[in-house]
Amino acid sequence: MTSTISLTIDGQPVEAPADATVLQAAEAAGITIPTLCHHPNLTPPAVCRLCVVEWEGRRTLQPACVTQVAADAVIHTRSPRVDLARRTILEMLATTVDLSDAPELRAMLAEYDAHPERFGEDLTRREHEVIIDNSFFVRDYDKCVLCWRCVEACGTDMEHAFALGFSGRGFETSIATFFENPMPETTCVFCGNCVGVCPTGALKDRRVFELEMATDY
Ligand code: FES
Protein backbone atom coordinates (compact mmCIF):
# COMPACT_ATOMS: atom_id res chain seq x y z
CA MET A 1 0.00 0.00 0.00
CA THR A 2 1.29 3.45 -0.91
CA SER A 3 2.05 5.62 2.10
CA THR A 4 0.81 9.17 2.43
CA ILE A 5 3.12 12.14 2.85
CA SER A 6 2.62 15.77 3.82
CA LEU A 7 3.86 18.75 1.87
CA THR A 8 2.96 22.38 1.29
CA ILE A 9 1.69 23.77 -1.99
CA ASP A 10 1.07 27.51 -2.25
CA GLY A 11 1.07 27.76 1.54
CA GLN A 12 -1.61 25.10 1.83
CA PRO A 13 -0.90 21.86 3.77
CA VAL A 14 -1.47 18.94 1.39
CA GLU A 15 -1.56 15.17 1.93
CA ALA A 16 -0.68 13.04 -1.08
CA PRO A 17 0.29 9.45 -1.93
CA ALA A 18 4.07 9.16 -1.85
CA ASP A 19 4.14 8.17 -5.53
CA ALA A 20 1.92 11.03 -6.75
CA THR A 21 3.22 13.70 -9.06
CA VAL A 22 3.14 17.33 -8.00
CA LEU A 23 0.41 17.85 -10.58
CA GLN A 24 -1.75 15.10 -9.09
CA ALA A 25 -1.21 16.34 -5.54
CA ALA A 26 -2.07 19.90 -6.54
CA GLU A 27 -5.19 18.87 -8.46
CA ALA A 28 -6.41 16.79 -5.51
CA ALA A 29 -5.99 19.88 -3.31
CA GLY A 30 -7.94 22.05 -5.75
CA ILE A 31 -4.88 23.88 -7.05
CA THR A 32 -4.73 24.26 -10.83
CA ILE A 33 -1.43 23.97 -12.65
CA PRO A 34 -1.58 24.66 -16.39
CA THR A 35 -0.50 21.89 -18.76
CA LEU A 36 -0.11 21.45 -22.48
CA CYS A 37 1.67 18.23 -23.40
CA HIS A 38 0.20 16.34 -20.45
CA HIS A 39 -2.92 14.24 -21.05
CA PRO A 40 -4.38 12.01 -18.32
CA ASN A 41 -4.55 8.98 -20.65
CA LEU A 42 -1.06 9.31 -22.09
CA THR A 43 2.48 8.87 -20.84
CA PRO A 44 3.64 12.41 -20.09
CA PRO A 45 6.33 13.42 -22.60
CA ALA A 46 7.16 16.47 -20.45
CA VAL A 47 8.24 18.57 -23.39
CA CYS A 48 6.26 21.81 -23.03
CA ARG A 49 7.34 22.93 -19.54
CA LEU A 50 4.16 24.98 -19.02
CA CYS A 51 3.55 23.07 -15.79
CA VAL A 52 6.77 24.12 -14.06
CA VAL A 53 6.64 24.94 -10.35
CA GLU A 54 9.14 26.34 -7.89
CA TRP A 55 10.33 23.86 -5.26
CA GLU A 56 12.13 25.50 -2.35
CA GLY A 57 15.71 24.20 -2.17
CA ARG A 58 15.83 22.94 -5.74
CA ARG A 59 17.90 24.99 -8.17
CA THR A 60 15.69 24.64 -11.24
CA LEU A 61 11.97 24.83 -11.84
CA GLN A 62 10.37 21.39 -11.80
CA PRO A 63 7.85 20.04 -14.33
CA ALA A 64 4.85 19.21 -12.14
CA CYS A 65 3.49 16.55 -14.49
CA VAL A 66 6.46 14.21 -14.00
CA THR A 67 8.01 15.27 -10.70
CA GLN A 68 7.17 13.06 -7.75
CA VAL A 69 6.16 14.67 -4.48
CA ALA A 70 8.40 14.39 -1.41
CA ALA A 71 7.71 14.70 2.30
CA ASP A 72 7.93 18.27 3.64
CA ALA A 73 8.42 19.78 0.18
CA VAL A 74 7.45 23.43 -0.10
CA ILE A 75 6.18 24.18 -3.59
CA HIS A 76 4.97 27.37 -5.25
CA THR A 77 2.84 27.16 -8.39
CA ARG A 78 2.49 30.90 -9.05
CA SER A 79 5.74 32.53 -7.90
CA PRO A 80 7.17 35.39 -10.01
CA ARG A 81 9.79 32.98 -11.37
CA VAL A 82 7.15 30.46 -12.39
CA ASP A 83 4.99 33.11 -14.01
CA LEU A 84 7.96 34.48 -15.95
CA ALA A 85 8.82 31.01 -17.27
CA ARG A 86 5.23 30.34 -18.35
CA ARG A 87 4.87 33.80 -19.89
CA THR A 88 8.02 33.32 -21.95
CA ILE A 89 6.97 29.85 -23.14
CA LEU A 90 3.56 31.18 -24.16
CA GLU A 91 5.10 34.14 -25.96
CA MET A 92 7.48 31.91 -27.87
CA LEU A 93 4.63 29.61 -28.88
CA ALA A 94 2.48 32.52 -30.01
CA THR A 95 5.27 34.02 -32.10
CA THR A 96 5.72 30.90 -34.16
CA VAL A 97 2.46 28.94 -34.10
CA ASP A 98 -1.10 29.76 -35.14
CA LEU A 99 -3.07 29.51 -31.88
CA SER A 100 -6.41 30.48 -33.41
CA ASP A 101 -7.84 27.02 -32.62
CA ALA A 102 -6.36 26.88 -29.11
CA PRO A 103 -8.67 28.94 -26.87
CA GLU A 104 -7.13 27.59 -23.66
CA LEU A 105 -3.68 28.75 -24.71
CA ARG A 106 -5.02 32.13 -25.80
CA ALA A 107 -6.67 32.52 -22.40
CA MET A 108 -3.35 31.70 -20.78
CA LEU A 109 -1.64 34.41 -22.83
CA ALA A 110 -3.95 36.90 -21.16
CA GLU A 111 -3.70 35.33 -17.72
CA TYR A 112 0.11 35.47 -17.77
CA ASP A 113 0.25 38.91 -19.35
CA ALA A 114 2.15 37.54 -22.32
CA HIS A 115 3.08 39.92 -25.13
CA PRO A 116 4.41 37.99 -28.13
CA GLU A 117 4.68 41.22 -30.09
CA ARG A 118 7.63 42.29 -27.93
CA PHE A 119 9.79 39.94 -30.01
CA GLY A 120 9.26 42.24 -33.01
CA GLU A 121 7.35 41.90 -36.25
CA ASP A 122 9.99 40.22 -38.39
CA LEU A 123 9.41 36.78 -36.96
CA THR A 124 9.76 33.39 -38.58
CA ARG A 125 6.50 31.52 -38.26
CA ARG A 126 5.54 27.96 -39.07
CA GLU A 127 4.04 28.10 -42.54
CA HIS A 128 2.91 24.93 -44.24
CA GLU A 129 0.09 24.00 -46.55
CA VAL A 130 -2.71 22.12 -44.81
CA ILE A 131 -2.20 18.45 -45.66
CA ILE A 132 -5.39 16.84 -46.96
CA ASP A 133 -4.49 13.34 -48.00
CA ASN A 134 -7.30 11.18 -46.62
CA SER A 135 -11.06 11.25 -46.01
CA PHE A 136 -10.94 11.47 -42.24
CA PHE A 137 -8.66 14.21 -40.93
CA VAL A 138 -6.41 17.03 -42.04
CA ARG A 139 -3.02 18.10 -40.73
CA ASP A 140 -2.31 21.79 -40.26
CA TYR A 141 1.22 22.00 -38.94
CA ASP A 142 1.05 25.79 -38.66
CA LYS A 143 -0.99 25.05 -35.52
CA CYS A 144 1.25 22.32 -34.14
CA VAL A 145 2.98 23.03 -30.82
CA LEU A 146 4.90 19.73 -30.89
CA CYS A 147 3.29 18.55 -27.67
CA TRP A 148 3.78 14.95 -28.75
CA ARG A 149 0.32 13.83 -27.68
CA CYS A 150 -0.60 12.52 -31.15
CA VAL A 151 2.60 10.48 -31.34
CA GLU A 152 1.88 8.95 -27.94
CA ALA A 153 -1.73 8.18 -28.89
CA CYS A 154 -0.63 6.56 -32.14
CA GLY A 155 2.02 4.52 -30.31
CA THR A 156 2.05 2.30 -27.25
CA ASP A 157 -0.32 4.44 -25.15
CA MET A 158 -3.35 3.78 -27.33
CA GLU A 159 -3.37 2.52 -30.88
CA HIS A 160 -0.02 0.80 -31.45
CA ALA A 161 -0.15 1.93 -35.08
CA PHE A 162 3.08 3.98 -35.01
CA ALA A 163 2.09 6.02 -38.04
CA LEU A 164 3.29 9.29 -36.52
CA GLY A 165 6.77 10.36 -35.49
CA PHE A 166 8.75 13.48 -36.20
CA SER A 167 11.05 14.81 -38.85
CA GLY A 168 13.47 17.70 -39.08
CA ARG A 169 15.58 19.45 -36.49
CA GLY A 170 15.37 22.76 -34.64
CA PHE A 171 12.79 25.14 -36.07
CA GLU A 172 12.05 22.64 -38.86
CA THR A 173 11.05 19.91 -36.41
CA SER A 174 7.62 18.66 -37.33
CA ILE A 175 5.27 15.81 -36.53
CA ALA A 176 5.34 13.61 -39.62
CA THR A 177 4.67 10.21 -41.08
CA PHE A 178 7.63 8.02 -41.90
CA PHE A 179 9.36 9.45 -44.97
CA GLU A 180 6.50 11.99 -44.95
CA ASN A 181 4.36 9.57 -46.91
CA PRO A 182 0.67 10.37 -47.41
CA MET A 183 -1.36 9.05 -44.49
CA PRO A 184 -3.11 6.25 -46.51
CA GLU A 185 0.35 4.85 -47.31
CA THR A 186 1.29 4.56 -43.64
CA THR A 187 0.25 2.19 -40.85
CA CYS A 188 -2.52 4.64 -39.83
CA VAL A 189 -5.83 2.91 -39.14
CA PHE A 190 -7.76 6.21 -38.93
CA CYS A 191 -8.89 5.58 -35.36
CA GLY A 192 -9.04 9.33 -34.67
CA ASN A 193 -7.26 9.14 -31.33
CA CYS A 194 -4.59 11.60 -32.50
CA VAL A 195 -7.28 14.09 -33.48
CA GLY A 196 -8.98 13.60 -30.13
CA VAL A 197 -5.91 14.46 -28.07
CA CYS A 198 -4.61 17.36 -30.21
CA PRO A 199 -4.93 20.54 -28.11
CA THR A 200 -4.53 23.10 -30.89
CA GLY A 201 -6.53 21.97 -33.92
CA ALA A 202 -3.42 20.95 -35.84
CA LEU A 203 -5.16 17.63 -36.41
CA LYS A 204 -8.79 18.10 -37.28
CA ASP A 205 -11.74 16.08 -38.50
CA ARG A 206 -11.91 16.69 -42.25
CA ARG A 207 -15.64 17.45 -42.23
CA VAL A 208 -15.19 20.03 -39.49
CA PHE A 209 -12.31 21.56 -41.45
CA GLU A 210 -14.34 21.73 -44.66
CA LEU A 211 -17.34 23.17 -42.84
CA GLU A 212 -15.16 25.86 -41.30
CA MET A 213 -13.68 26.65 -44.70
CA ALA A 214 -17.12 26.83 -46.30
CA THR A 215 -18.50 29.13 -43.63
CA ASP A 216 -15.27 31.06 -43.10
CA TYR A 217 -15.69 30.14 -39.45
S1 FES B 1 2.54 19.59 -19.07
FE2 FES B 1 4.31 19.15 -17.90
S3 FES B 1 5.92 19.43 -19.30
FE4 FES B 1 4.14 19.71 -20.52
| Predicted confidence (pLDDT) at residue 161 exceeds the cutoff of 90 | yes
Which pLDDT belongs to residue 2?
82
**How many A from CA of 16 to the centre of ligand 1?**
20
Q: Which residues contact 187 (CB under 8 A, 6 or more apart)?
A: 161, 162, 163
Gyration radius of the chain's alpha carbons: 19
Mean pLDDT confidence for 55-77? 98
pLDDT (tens digit per residue) in 74-114: 999 999 999 999 999 999 999 999 999 999 999 999 999 99
Residue length of the chain? 217
pLDDT (tens digit per residue) in 2-25: 899 999 999 999 999 999 999 999
| Predicted confidence (pLDDT) at residue 126 exceeds the cutoff of 90 | no
Mean pLDDT confidence for 118-137? 90
Which pLDDT belongs to residue 216?
66
Choosing from 50, 93, 149 the residue with most ligand 1 atoms within 8 A of its CB, the one to mutate for a pocket test is 50
pLDDT (tens digit per residue) in 129-154: 999 999 999 999 999 999 999 999 99
Using CA atoms, how far residue 41 sits from 88, 104, 150, 176, 197, in Å, is 27, 19, 12, 22, 9
Domains 4-78 and 137-215 are alike in CATH topology: no
| CATH code given to domain 4-78 | 3.10.20.740
Which pLDDT belongs to residue 172?
87
Which pLDDT belongs to residue 110?
97
**How many A from CA of 172 to the centre of ligand 1?**
21
**Whole-prediction pTM:** 0.92
**How many A from CA of 85 to the centre of ligand 1?**
13
Confidence of residue 217 (pLDDT cuts 50, 70, 90): low
Confidence of residue 27 (pLDDT cuts 50, 70, 90): very high
Choosing from 21, 24, 39, 49 the residue with most ligand 1 atoms within 8 A of its CB, the one to mutate for a pocket test is 49
| Measured distance CA(89)–CA(52) in Å, rounded | 11
Mean pLDDT over each residue of the chain, to the nearest integer = 95
| Measured distance CA(11)–CA(32) in Å, rounded | 14
Pick from 160, 149, 167: which is nearest to 45 by CA? 149
Instruction: Report which ligand 1 atom has the smallest distance to the Cα of 38.
Output: 1
Chosen CATH of 137-215 out of 3.30.70.20, 3.30.530.20, 3.40.190.100, 3.30.70.270:
3.30.70.20
Which pLDDT belongs to residue 127?
86
Q: How many CB atoms lie within 10 A of CB 44?
A: 21
The full DSSP string for the chain is ---EEEEEETTEEEEEETT-BHHHHHHHTT-----SS--TTS-----S-TTEEEETT-SS-EETTTPBP-TT-EEESS-HHHHHHHHHHHHHHHHHS--TT-HHHHHHHHHTT--GGGG-S---------B--SSSEEE-GGG-----HHHHHHTTTTT----EEEE-SGGG-EEEEGGG--GGGSS-----HHHHH-SSSSEEEHHHHHHHHHHT-
Residue spans of the domains in the chain: they are 4-78, 92-119, 137-215
| Predicted confidence (pLDDT) at residue 157 exceeds the cutoff of 90 | yes
Confidence of residue 167 (pLDDT cuts 50, 70, 90): very high
Question: Which residue's alpha carbon is at the smallest distance from atom 1 of ligand 1?
Answer: 35
**How many A from CA of 214 to the centre of ligand 1?**
35
**How many A from CA of 49 to the centre of ligand 1?**
5
Confidence of residue 120 (pLDDT cuts 50, 70, 90): confident
Choosing from 51, 93, 105, 108 the residue with most ligand 1 atoms within 8 A of its CB, the one to mutate for a pocket test is 51
User: Which residues, judged by CB distance below 6 Å to any ligand atom, belong to the binding site of ligand 1?
Assistant: 35-38, 46, 48-51, 63, 65
Which pLDDT belongs to residue 84?
98
| Measured distance CA(42)–CA(47) in Å, rounded | 13
| Measured distance CA(63)–CA(145) in Å, rounded | 17
